[in-house]
């Protein structure tokens, strides 16, 4: 399976560097890595250029102008560059355990998409990961959702479950077939600032009659601590989500196809 790994980022090269190092340590490498850059400064470009010279798989940089938080559009631009058959999306603050890509690859099935889990690191534990590239254990201090540190295929098979609503969505760890995300026209570019753009794309995939699998005990990402994003547009974004739910929409009018013409 050719997996395109998409990593969103914005002006945190230290975290992106650690995440890229964790990609290099994967037991199963992705086919390609695409950085979905929401308008970072030159430091991020320089970091990516440095990695490109030595990276074990193609490393692409998809950049758009900084016009505020536009993660949906940024992801769409990156998806448009993807040449793999399967897409895994993470955020640039998600450090990957060594079997992360393998977990998504082995769990992927036709007719479904995957929502993964995460382990939350506090500031002190995050600094340790940033400096050492080593993950905490189940019993380490400074972590939340610690049960997600467990990697066990048997537990995953027993405890993973399908969901029929969009409220588990977290774009920091999700995956889908490239053909499926094209059918719904990707993320909705109308979502500006933080909130609900991942829930909304989940809802359209569900409306398309795809199964959503909540993958437990495999492929958890480790979330590096940072201050929360602004919630200024949350109510407007929630209204967009509710429209998709109420009208059972499967396709957005401002998505993947339109992203190619936007800056």
**Model pTM score:** 0.96
pLDDT confidence tier of residue 227, bands split at 50, 70 and 90:
confident
C-alpha span between 48 and 43 (Å, rounded): 9
> Quick check: 235 pLDDT over 90?
yes
pLDDT at residue number 230: 67
> Quick check: 119 pLDDT over 90?
yes
The DSSP line for 45-70 is HHHHHHHHTT-SS-EEEEE---SS--
DSSP class of 75: H
For the stretch 57-113, pLDDT in tens is 999 999 999 999 999 999 999 999 999 999 999 999 999 999 999 999 999 999 999
> Quick check: 238 pLDDT over 90?
yes
8 Å CB contact between 169 and 213: no
pLDDT at residue number 168: 86
Domain of residue 250, CATH code: 3.90.550.10
pLDDT at residue number 31: 98
pLDDT at residue number 229: 67
Average pLDDT on 118-131 reads 97
Its domain, for residue 215, covers 3-259
Counted domains in the chain: 1
Those residues whose C-beta lies under 8 Å from the C-beta of residue 261, and which sit 6 or more positions away, are none
**Mean pLDDT of the chain, nearest integer:** 96
**Beta strand pairing call for 118-121 and 3-9:** unpaired
pLDDT at residue number 236: 93
For the stretch 159-201, pLDDT in tens is 999 999 998 899 999 999 999 999 999 999 999 988 899 999 9
> Quick check: 232 pLDDT over 80?
no
In 67-196, where does DSSP find H-type helix?
A: 71-81, 100-107, 123-132, 153-159, 178-183
pLDDT at residue number 199: 97
């Amino acid at each position: 399976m050719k997996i395109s790994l998409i990593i969103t980022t914005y002006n945190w090269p230290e975290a992106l560097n650690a995440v890229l190092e964790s990609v290099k340590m994967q037991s199963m490498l992705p086919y390609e890595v695409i950085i979905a850059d929401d308008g970072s400064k030159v430091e991020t470009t320089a970091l990516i250029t440095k990695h490109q010279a030595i990276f074990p798989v193609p490393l692409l940089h998809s950049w758009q102008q900084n016009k505020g938080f536009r993660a949906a559009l940024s992801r769409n631009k990156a998806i448009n560059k993807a040449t793999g058959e399967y897409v895994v999306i993470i955020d640039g603050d998600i450090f990957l355990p060594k079997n992360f890509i393998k977990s998504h690859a082995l769990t992927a099935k036709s007719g479904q998409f995957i929502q993964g889990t995460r382990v939350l690191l506090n500031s002190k534990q995050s600094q340790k990961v940033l400096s050492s590239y080593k993950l905490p254990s189940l019993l380490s201090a400074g972590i939340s959702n610690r049960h997600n540190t467990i990697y066990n295929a048997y537990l995953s098979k027993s405890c993973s479950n399908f969901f029929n609503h969009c409220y588990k969505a977290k774009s920091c760890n999700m995956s889908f077939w490239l053909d499926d995300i094209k059918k719904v026209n990707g993320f909705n570019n109308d979502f500006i600032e933080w909130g609900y753009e991942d829930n909304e794309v989940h809802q359209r995939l569900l409306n398309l009659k795809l199964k959503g699998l909540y993958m437990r005990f495999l492929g958890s990402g480790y979330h590096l601590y940072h201050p929360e994003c602004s919630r200024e547009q949350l109510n407007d974004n929630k209204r967009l989500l509710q429209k998709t739910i109420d009208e059972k929409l499967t396709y957005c009018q401002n998505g993947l196809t339109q992203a190619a013409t936007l800056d």
